[in-house]
Each structure stands twice: as C-alpha cells, then as structure tokens.
Structure 1
Amino acid sequence: MLTTPGWAASSPLNAGWWNDTRRGLDERGFCNGLGEFSVEPLQVDAALYEHTCRDLPRLLTLARRWAHATGDSLRWARPDQRDLVAAYLDGPRRPVVARPDGIFVDGQLKLLELNIDSGVGGCFEVDYVQERFRLLLPDDRLHAPPVIPVLCELLRSLRQQCDERVFNLALITYPHFRPYHAALVHRLAETLDREVPGCRARVVLADDLRAGPQWMTDGERDYQFIWRFGALTHPPQAMAPVIAALAAARHTRTCVMSDPADLGVDGKLILASLSEAVDPGDTRAHTPALSQDERALIAAYVPWTRFVGPREVSFRGRGHELQALLEAERGLFVLKRSHSKSTEHVHLGAECSQADWSGLLGRAFEERGQWIAQENLRSPQLPFAYVDAQGAVASTPGSFTYNPFVFGERCAAPLIRIERNPMQRKVAMAVSSAMAITGTLVKAPPPSIS
C-alpha cells in the first residue's frame, strides 16, 4: 500500500525541525524554493518495499544479460562509445549501478527507464532527506532507509577483492560540471575515505589519468578503482577524454565502476526489447529463451513499450499498425529517443498538439531504431504537504515517480519526484524546479497478537 502518514493534518508542524531542514536545503542548494520540498513523505508498506528491493536487482541483471546475449549492446551503443563497450564485453561483469525511473500503477511498480550505468546523481540529496525524516519517526514500526551507507557497502565488498593494503579510488569529475555537482564529487570522496576502510579517494579529471605498468595512474599514485561521477550522456567531444581513460584502463588491473559494457544497455531501448519478448503477439524469433520466472518478472515491471518503425503490434489484446495507432491515440503514448539526457527528446502525446505529434512521429519513423513508443502511465495522486511563505502547511494532491538507487544486489532509498504541474510531467532531473521531492518511510506490519 502507498500513502502518506498524514502528519500535516494530524499535528502542528515541528517548527524547529522544519527550520533546520530548510537551512540544510539552503546550504546544499537543492529543492529549497517554495513548493519544492514536501514535509509529508511517501509511506510504503514493508512487504511492497522489500518485494521491490528483491526484484529490481534481478531485473537489471536480466536486462544486462539480455542486451549482451542478443548483441543489442553493440548496436545500441552510441557510436563514439561502441569500441569501449566492445572492449569490456568480454571482461568480468561488475555490479550493476543504476537508478531506474518508475511509477506505481495499481500497487505495482512499472519502470519507465532503467538508467543502467547511471551516475549517482541525487544520492546525497535523498540521503539528507531520509536523515531529516528519520528524526520524526514516532516508533520502530516506521523506518527511513538510507542511500549512502548502501553505496559504501558496495565499495567495501569490492575492496575485499583488492589485495592492496590501501586502495586508491579515482573519482572522475567533468570539467563542465556546475559548482553544485563538482562539490558533490568531493563530498563523495570525503565520505568514502571516512566510511570504507583502506580507501583513499581522490577527485581527478580524465585527462590526468594514463595507463601504467599495472594500474591507471595520475603520475602521483596508482589507482585500483575508477568511478566516474556522472553518466556518459553528454556530447561526444566532452566525453572523449573519459572514454579514452576507460579504454586505457581495460589494459590494466584497475577495476572500473560503473561497468563500461553497460553503456550499451540503453535504458529506453532495453525496455522495448524486453516488453516485446514477453508479448506473444510481438515476440522476435531470434531472441534468447526466457524462463517462466523471467517472463513473469518482465511482465510485472516493464510497461508496454515498442520500437518505432513500420510494423504491426499488439496493444491491449488487439493488433494495430503502429503508426496509425500512435496517430489516433496520442494521449495514450510517450515518444522517447535513445541516448537523450534527462527529459530531452521525451514527448508526451497528451502535451502535444496533433500537428506537433504528427511531426514527431514522422521524425521517429525516419530515425528507425532510435525511438520507442511507451504507454503513458500515471501514478496515483497522494496528499503531499508543503510549507508556504507564511509558515502555514497545506496539502496538495500530486502524482509522483519512484526512482530507487541500485548498488549491486541491494536497493537504497528511492528518489521521489512529485509533479508540480499535471501538464508538465517531465521531471527526470535529479534536482529541478519543475518538481518537488520528499522522502520515503517504510511501514512494518503491526505485531501479531497471539
């Protein structure tokens, strides 16, 4: 069950807590405007939360294996990254790092994009929000799961695979980062130094790295691990030094996180491939076999998604010519282009005029294989409470997205984005004035009475 705890309606706002929380938002520079932070968190039943946490790492691992087995990883890789993906495909698989975007529909999480090989954008923001709500918990039947400790746990497990007494970790930053994101990279380095025994994290530019006899080096120290803070969705010219450094690392003993082979597991195209694979009306003959459990997993979490191109498809149990279906029912669909950053090239038919939608369809069908059409799903609306300029609290119903961090086999607390305008539903940035955020509480069932 999904709800909000009703704190705003049942008791006065804790003014001291809110003032401290607002001060922390101001200091961190995110979601600190009016209406950008809900003091009413999402509340999830423990059974639903734990079930989702078990399933998501399995689904992400399946998606990765599927893309590699079908050969789609190389076909989907951005041209400037294809050689890098090929170089890592025959290497050992590293733990999945992802932050899939999803919404709940009738109590079931549906994933709108997988974001495998995502950066870790938003992890400090969510961890701070969870820390603040943890201070309000009335009893041990509610808890606010963390993010940063789960990330550190992944690094501790990887550290055990390194036989060096002290291991150095290079956090690759990008020179075009805004000061906000640049500061987060340094905060991550400080956190890993403090929380992961033996770790010495350093923030570097990709241009500073080169291959040494055994390890990647910056001339001052050898690095046993490289982790780039940020996705590779930026323009090719900006990413060229990063790609060169990761390619050089393949010929050393340095472990690279996230796995560069995952760059070919496009977060949008993979959903179309999986969705078609479990639809009897659309299954591609050449795809690998799926077990019954794998089919059930895909059917549960992957919404109706199709590659855009001239073809017949099955939708809601009936056959259709895809272009005619999309033209006639634009309000039911979203068009998305591969290799697009955040909400770039994401178009909701319900927010487009018929003329604009037809133009987008024309482009998508011309660029065959680069676009997907996805059913336009909407989450339930819940009452989220906000503090106004006078300090009063009022609840406003809002739809929300549920975006859990996944580090290897474990899920961390999700990033919750709340739509501020029902006609502007694209809220894919980790931090954006187009959305509000809040935290997540997990509610355990009441103790049984024997």
Structure 2
Amino acid sequence: MASVDDRTVRDAVQKAVDVELLRVAYGGAFLSRPVFLDHAQQEGLGRDLAGVFRLLTSLPGLVTDGDLGRYCELVGMTPSQAAAVRRTAGAPPVPLGRADLYHDGEGFRLLEFNISSALGGFENAEINRALRDVPAIADFTERERLRHVDTLGEIVRVMLDTHSAPFWGDRPFVALVDTPASFPGLERRLGFMAELLSAYGVDAVACHTGQIEARDGRLYVGDRPVDIVYRFFIIEDLLEETGELELIDPILRCHENGGVTVFAPLDTEMYGNKRALALLGDERVRQSLSAEDLALVDRFVPWTRRVRRGEVEVGGAYVDLEAYCVENRADLVLKPSLLHGGMGFAAGWLMSEAEWRSALDDAMRSPFVVQRRVAPGPETFTDGDVTGPSVLNWGVFMAGDRYAGAIVRGVADPDVGVVSMGSGARVGGCFHGPDPSAAL
C-alpha cells in the first residue's frame, strides 16, 4: 500500500482515529497506515502460536512431573505467588494470549508469548474500523478483499466457553478487575472496554480488587452478583508487601467453591512468562519433543535460555553461559522472567561492557532469561514530514487454536531496545488477505 502512504493519507488516518476511546488507549500515537498479512502468513501464525501454546502448557509435566509448586519455583515465582497459582489450576489451560513478534525479513520470530487475560491491544478492531473511514484505505481493502479479526469478540468467545455455571441474571455480568495501585491509570480504558462488551451481550463494570465484596458464596460489585472476574491483575502484583494477596483471597476462594469464574485463571501465568519460553531450549525438554515440534521451536523461537551459572548449548556445542554472554554482548538481551512492558530489559548493544557485566551479574541472582537479538526488517511509514523506515513489534492474538487479530507498534530507530509505547512507538491496525482458494 506504499502508493497511498503519503501525507494526505497520514492526515486522514490521524483524523479517523482521533476518537476518545483510542486516545485514552494509545495517546494519539498512530502509524500513518495499517499493516498487512497475506492468507498464508495469517494461517501460519495461528498454527505456530497454537503449537507453541501446546508445548508451553506441557512443560510442568515434562520438567517437574506435574509438580506445580516446583514448576512455579523454576520459572521464578515466590512461594506465595505459586500458592495463588495452584488455587486456580486444574482445568485445561485457557487458550488465550498475545505474542510479541519481529519479522526479520524471512519470517516471524517469537520474542514473548503473553498467555493471560490481561492483554493490551484489545481495542485493535476499533482501529481497523476507524481506518476504513479513510477513502484510500477503504478502496484498497475492498479491492484486495482484506479483512480483520474482531479480537475482542474472540476474547469474549473464549471467556464464555470457560464459564459452565448458569448466569445470575439474564446476561453475564463481568467484573474487569485490576489492583488498587494500577486501577487509576487504567480505569478509563477498562470503562471503555465495559461499554464495548455490551455489544456482545455482556454487562461489565471496571473495578479493582478492593471494590469486590464476598457474600453468601458469591462476589458482588455493589448490589450485583458477579459471574466472571476478568483478571487484569497479574502475577507480579501478588507480593506480600503490596497487600494484594489478601485482597484477592475472597476472589480465589469463591472461584474454588464454584461461585465465580476467574478469567483467565492465574495458572496461565505459569506458561506465559519468559522462563517458560526459555525451557523450550532446555536439553531435557528438547529430547522429549517430536521432530516436528523441534523444527517449530528452532524456526519460530530465537535462542532463549535461563540465566544461570554453568554450561549451556549454543549451536550444538556447550559453552560457559556467562563467558558466552560477555563475548556476544551486541547480539543478546536480558529479560526478567515475570515483569512486563520492557521493565528490567537490558539490550547488550546499547550498553558498555562494564554496564553489561553488571546487568548480567544481577541477572544471575534473579529469575532472568537471555535471548538472541532479532533484527526486525523495516517497513515504510510517514511520520510528520518524513517518510522512512520503521521497525515493528507485531502483537498477534491467539484465541482457541487460531489467529485472532493483530496490532503493531512501530518506531523509526532500528537499534531501539524495546519497541513499546514507552520508547515512543506508534500504533497501527492490521488487515489480512483472503484465502486464494475461496471463490471470488
């Protein structure tokens, strides 16, 4: 669509997305055009993410013989976090997540897989709907038969599938629940989400854990009984010093007793953290994988390992991990296992040797992973008065076992450590092409 990626289209795009819901979510920072996947890419992403999800959710059985306490410790959780996770475990893992990927010019590479209900970007279909108000984009998408997935609709489908009990009222009542500490910054965004959910036959309210009351085996927000707690609080919130463990106890107790459904349960945090992804490179795990699964991991997941003392496999040989990291600083990143949003991220190519050694030494004492850098291939966008390359972080959703839409973040600096809103990224929507075998 380069032919219509000019200043006229850019201005029309900025006008189209200038609505309160999207301003609240993304602060008015948008790319000058959407991005596109062909049918094979869309189908391939859905297939690959479903495959990695299957592998990640098999890890407790492979590495700790199903002992969830030991597995939680292995991926870096505290004992109290692990105890909270075990209280919601038991049912099949909820197949919902958003992958962060780079495209390196040859294919997509999976940097992280956020398996959770607390996913940013759920408004992406609203971006696409707004973009279709731009004549040039509307004409192009119609001519090429491009579509987009309603990601929020897919999330609702998975959410309702996890709830087996009758609803307390005529429509499901969902509490969108965050922590008291972070709720003020997210309240308006969750309020818009509650409004959007109404179109799917769901009543919802935005609140925090301190606003939920347990009575008679049920949870209430005000006078209304809650059917589903849509969880926006995450494992890193559950620390003794925050008091959050005490606040979520009534929620977990009600979930255990069948009085409410927690969506997604806290056990998803076992699979969606960075150390879980690193375990796919563990030799014990690799020896148990089929040839097809090994090929998927080697093609789709960049080299990722737990940071620890000792030897590690690199390219078929075993080397000392610390020495390897020091020697290959420019090609590596350090990431904390359980934090999000780029917190604790260290890019070796942006640091001096002394800074990198210090970061590596700290990582040796904490649950961290080291990952080989992926250099994303650039795409062309217009930013201000300049048309030039930007690198993209593709946020691709999986719901069930299929592709469920995407949102991208882009920055002009190819050497940026993290492509995120914190690093000045702009946001864009994503359309995908039709099945070539389908009738016109």
TM-score normalized with structure 2 length: 0.85
Do residues 385 (structure 1) and 377 (structure 2) align? Answer: no
Output the CA distance in 1 between the equivalents of 2:412 and 2:243.
32
Output the CA distance in 2 between the equivalents of 1:171 and 1:448.
39
Output the CA distance in 2 between the equivalents of 1:169 and 1:441.
29
Shift in alpha-carbon separation, 1:211–1:23, aligned structure 2, 3 A: closer
In structure 1, the partner of 2:67 is none
In structure 2, the partner of 1:255 is 261
In structure 1, the partner of 2:17 is 21
Q: Is the 8 A contact 1:207 1:242 kept in 2?
A: yes
In structure 1, the partner of 2:274 is 268
Q: Give the secondary-structure state (helix, strand or coil) at the position aligned to 2:256.
A: coil
In structure 2, the partner of 1:104 is 103
Q: Is the 8 A contact 1:143 1:442 kept in 2?
A: yes
CA deviation digits over 1:403-432, x for unaligned, max 9?
11223334322221112323433134xx44
| Range 335-344 or range 150-159, more displaced | 150-159
Q: Is the 8 A contact 1:212 1:252 kept in 2?
A: no
| Range 303-312 or range 173-182, more displaced | 173-182
Q: Give the secondary-structure state (helix, strand or coil) at the position aligned to 2:223.
A: coil
Q: Give the secondary-structure state (helix, strand or coil) at the position aligned to 2:398.
A: strand
In structure 2, the partner of 1:150 is 154
Match of 2:416 among 416, 421, 424: 424
In structure 1, the partner of 2:284 is 284
Segments of structure 2 that go 5 or more residues without pairing to the other structure are: 65-69
Identity of aligned residues (%): 20
Q: Give the secondary-structure state (helix, strand or coil) at the position aligned to 1:261.
A: helix
Output the CA distance in 1 between the equivalents of 2:49 and 2:93.
16
Output the CA distance in 2 between the equivalents of 1:170 and 1:433.
31
CA deviation digits over 1:241-287, x for unaligned, max 9?
453234213332121111211222352101110022xxxxxx127x8
In structure 1, the partner of 2:330 is 331
CA deviation digits over 1:290-340, x for unaligned, max 9?
233333332232111111222222323443221111111100111112222
Shift in alpha-carbon separation, 1:241–1:301, aligned structure 2, 3 A: farther
Q: For 1:51-200, list aligned pairs within 5 A.
A: 51-67=44-60, 69-71=62-64, 73-75=71-73, 76=75, 77-89=77-89, 91-117=90-116, 119-124=118-123, 126-135=124-133, 136-138=137-139, 139=142, 140-158=144-162, 161-164=164-167, 166=170, 167-177=172-182, 179=184, 181-196=186-201, 199-200=202-203
Shift in alpha-carbon separation, 1:206–1:29, aligned structure 2, 3 A: closer
Q: Is the 8 A contact 2:87 2:256 kept in 1?
A: no
| Range 320-329 or range 205-214, more displaced | 205-214
| Range 209-218 or range 373-382, more displaced | 209-218
Shift in alpha-carbon separation, 1:69–1:255, aligned structure 2, 3 A: farther
Q: Is the 8 A contact 1:21 1:132 kept in 2?
A: yes
Aligned residues: CA RMSD: 3.0
Output the CA distance in 2 between the equivalents of 1:443 and 1:203.
35
Q: Give the secondary-structure state (helix, strand or coil) at the position aligned to 2:138.
A: coil
Q: Is the 8 A contact 1:209 1:218 kept in 2?
A: yes
Q: Is the 8 A contact 2:187 2:207 kept in 1?
A: no
Output the CA distance in 1 between the equivalents of 2:341 and 2:402.
24
Shift in alpha-carbon separation, 1:65–1:448, aligned structure 2, 3 A: closer
Q: For 1:283-302, list aligned pairs within 5 A.
A: 283-284=283-284, 289-302=288-301
Read off the aligned partner of 2:115 and give its amino acid letter: I
Output the CA distance in 2 between the equivalents of 1:211 and 1:288.
47
Q: For 1:349-388, list aligned pairs within 5 A.
A: 349-367=348-366, 370-386=367-383, 388=384
Do residues 206 (structure 1) and 209 (structure 2) align? Answer: yes
Output the CA distance in 2 between the equivalents of 1:122 and 1:432.
15
Q: Is the 8 A contact 2:96 2:155 kept in 1?
A: no
Segments of structure 1 that go 5 or more residues without pairing to the other structure are: 277-282
Output the CA distance in 1 between the equivalents of 2:148 and 2:323.
47
Output the CA distance in 2 between the equivalents of 1:222 and 1:448.
46
Read off the aligned partner of 2:200 and give its amino acid letter: E
CA deviation digits over 1:185-242, x for unaligned, max 9?
122222223312xx33233332343555543345733322111234332362053245
Give the number of aligned pairs. 422
Output the CA distance in 2 between the equivalents of 1:245 and 1:184.
25
Output the CA distance in 2 between the equivalents of 1:445 and 1:260.
37
In structure 1, the partner of 2:244 is 239
Output the CA distance in 1 between the equivalents of 2:361 and 2:13.
52
Report the CA distance between 1:12 and its aligned residue. 4.3
